[in-house]
Amino acid sequence: MTPPLGDIAHIGHAQLFTPDLDASVAFFTDFLGLTVNGEDGDTVHLRTFDDYEHHSLVLTAREQPGLGRLALRTSSEEALRRRVEAVENAGGTGHWTEDEPGLGKLYVTTDPDGHEHALYWESEHYRAPGALKPALKNQPQAKPNRGVGVRRLDHVNFLAADVLANAEFQQSVLGARPTEQIRLDTGRIAARWLTYTNKSYDVVYTEDWTGSEGRLHHIAFASDTREDILRAADLAVDTGVFIETGPHKHAIQQTFFLYVYEPGGNRIELCNPLTRLVLAPDWPLVTWTEAERAKGQAWGLKTIRSFHTHGTPPVQA
């Protein structure tokens, strides 16, 4: 049984590994418009301008790219305890740590595929210094005067060997609610979108056609408008950022998007989903068939890896 919504307040931040830390930092600051808010050895903390917390993204130097940790803030200390109990009652394991600036203790566990999740409650509200102070008191930081100027970290799309097992972990253990999914002709669930809030989705699981575990499809940053996505595409061309696909509109979730790669090798989505909310408490799970998925995106753009007759799912979600 899925617990009531509300124990997970929102996505706090994501950690990415990169084999080229300097180039990755330059991408996120110069192209996306994030601000560096501290360094610790081979780790750099960055923030989007509308994040009330210390950081939105953690970049850590490693030999290979990928996702390190997805951090989720709970809605209270009691909610944190409930989710920890839910993890342990489901047979999961975890450990406590205090290893991130601006945050209190974090409970670190994993989903069935091995993706690391950190749950926390205690968090310092960001206070912008000097030139970063905003003119409006209800905004944590002044808007950036460079790059795209993304507003927030929007969602994370995990690759998984078993989509259903991981989605059920999100639902039964963390309290997420499924909103849309892809079901193959065989009956297998090839992708599922889930939300902790009234956003239409916060996390996604997409079947990894290689059968691997613990990999990342992409992390996504939200922009104010669709026009920002188009401007990002122009900036990418001008600055040599690799565009994988888009700008275009997803059929699933109707997100206007652009996929690019940062220099460390991680796929980054720029998206504009701000107008789509799930307000119905009895929202029905929308299921897309293999034939419907094969039609591609909303305006006919084919996905990067199309469905084949033997049911191989696409890499792009």
**pLDDT tens digits, one per residue of 153-211:** 999 999 999 999 999 999 999 999 999 999 999 999 999 999 999 999 999 999 999 99
Looking at the predicted structure, is the pLDDT value of residue 1 above 70?
no
**pLDDT tens digits, one per residue of 86-106:** 999 999 999 999 999 999 999
Question: In 3D, which of 68, 48, 73, 46 has the Cα closest to residue 57?
Answer: 46
Q: Is 25 left (phi over 0), alpha (psi -120 to 50) or beta?
A: alpha
Reported as a pLDDT band with limits 50, 70 and 90, residue 312 is very low
The sign one gets for the Cα dihedral 278, 48, 175, 179 is: positive
pLDDT at 6: 84
| DSSP per-residue string spanning 157-174 | EEEES-HHHHHHHIIIII
pLDDT at 276: 83
Q: With pLDDT > 90 as the criterion, what percentage of the chain qualifies?
A: 88
pLDDT at 5: 56
| pTM metric for this prediction | 0.93
pLDDT at 275: 66
Question: What is d(CA 310, CA 108) in angstroms, rounded to the nearest whole number?
Answer: 38
Better-predicted residue by pLDDT, 223 or 6: 223
